[in-house]
Structure 1
Amino acid sequence: MTGSASRPPRRSALLRVTTVVGAAVPLCMAGWLGWQALEGPTPVSAAGTSAAAPTTPSGTDPSGGPGAQGASGAPDASGTPAADRPTAASPAPSDTAAATASPGASGSPDATALSGRTVVLDPGHNPGNSAHTTEINRQVDIGNAHKECDTTGTETNAGYTEAEYTLDVSRRARAILAARGATVVLVQDGDRPWGPCIDERARASAAAHADVALSVHGDGGPASGSGFHVIMPARVVAGKADTSTIVEPSHRLGLLLREHFRAATGEQYADYVANQGLDTRSDLGGLNLSTVPKVFIECGNMRNPADAKRMTDPQWRQQAAQGIADALTAYLTTR
């Protein structure tokens, strides 16, 4: 006997295949369900097709936060090494970088909001004035009086000068305004050894056919006083001065500047001068001789330790520039 009668009967090939497949399906399903539990669902694109999740390069922060390459605070133009000043190696802000600052209280003006408008920014004093005392002490006619051509300005106790501050903030404001489409003219851009005189500063606005002008300053008040204030022109009709046509629009600009500067910086109104952050004066040549709406802003008291700390901080100066730019934008787009 060969034993063949004891072997199980042979199954057809089709039956064998069906059996193998039937056993494999539960195993495959179990594996797929396990993968889903670990990996989660595959994202689906708007078109309804599966899309691979994007990958983030190592060492970068997709949110643009501190981990992102190139993230930094606002740059500084002063190059002043004192403890209450910005880092000496920090460069002046580029127009592109400063223009990307948040739009502030005025919303989000587009790149054409100020198209066709011309703004004159007058950075008070000049870093070189102290070396040209003869030139800046020369008397000039401001209509109702004669005054010095210019002055050296004030400074913090550590030596950060008003002239450095005003130039830096004016450049930052210029960048923001230019990004909104304005033509921006600086009366001086660190390109002159001294001055210019206050009468020339006033004439610069007419020469540029400006719609509006603003002079940036820092105050040198008593150390116990702090805060900012806006100076507007009084009505002066005397000699070469006639502010009759600019008093009302300058007052409107002053109110907007007070509002937007405070919103951008959080700075309080000056507690040692002016009234609720506003002052009207007839003794400033830059206002007396202007033929376009113009105001001054004293951004803080540089002799006060708390104000000095803020004004030497480049990030705060960016906020100051934002407030100035927002006020000028509001003035030019709402009248």
Structure 2
Amino acid sequence: MNSLPEKVDVHHHFIPDFYASAIETNGDPSGSHLPTWKPETTEAFMNNGFVRTAILSITAPGASVLHGEGGRRLARKANNYAAALRDDNPGRYGFFAALPTLLDVEGCLDEIRYSLDTLKADGITLFTRYGSGNVYLGNVVFAPIWQELNKRHAVVFIHPTHAADTDMVSPSLPQPMVDYPHETTRTAMDLVLSGTKRHHPNCKVILSHGGGTMPYLATRVANLVKGTPMGKTNLLPSEIMEDCKSFYFDLALCGSHHTMRLLLDFASHDRILYGSDFPYAGEEAVRSFSNELDSYPMGETLRNKIYFQNARALFPRFSQT
């Protein structure tokens, strides 16, 4: 008999056939693989891993793989598909809505309104960077999107995507291996240093994979800002650290003991969430990280927070199903 609590998985992807077809036709610049998926795949994983609830999301490159009206249609189709899965079993599933590229501001605003008002999505998925250059989430062009999300007190799930430079160091290092955590760090620090995070306090922002390398580097950034020409910002070092700690952090692929020690020291224990990254991370890899997390020495109160209570505080409807 399993003695561990069941989990709410906030980092769980779905890959409907029409999305897989779009990726196969247009390619994934990250060099990642496209696993085979169907709803039964997720259901079997949840049953085997003591996951009670999965919040589904389309991962990178997302609807941005198509441009213009094609990206809008792909996002809408993905959101309607996820909503149908949720409606069939609302206690079992939730979803973070997909958006077209954020450079299509009006298309994004329309999809945010439709997803949150009509479909009642649990939140919105954003990627770390958009377009062909270094346009990260603190860029001024995205201000209307952040204003809309802030007005709605939205939960925002940030997932990394490929860097502007897609040349691999070696065939052994596709971008999801190492570059993805760095991309999360880049966009998190851009949100902080630009003031975007501080100016939109109603947004509850989840960083994937334990925040990338941001918990490790936050004090470096804050201290270099003080008394140097680096990192131009109006924020004080103490405000930078406060804003870095104001994110939520999921544990997808980072439940190892040394990572947990760092994250538990850095982040509020009310802001750490379980995540799997299934099915892109194969079941064997997910199981390895989950086993490490399960074996990490922590009290029942903290374990319950991380496994389900913190998520239910973010998504109260799961406490009622």
Q: Please give the TM-score of this superposition, normalised by the length of structure 2.
A: 0.31
* Structure with bigger gyration radius: 1
Identify the structure with the greater helix proportion.
2
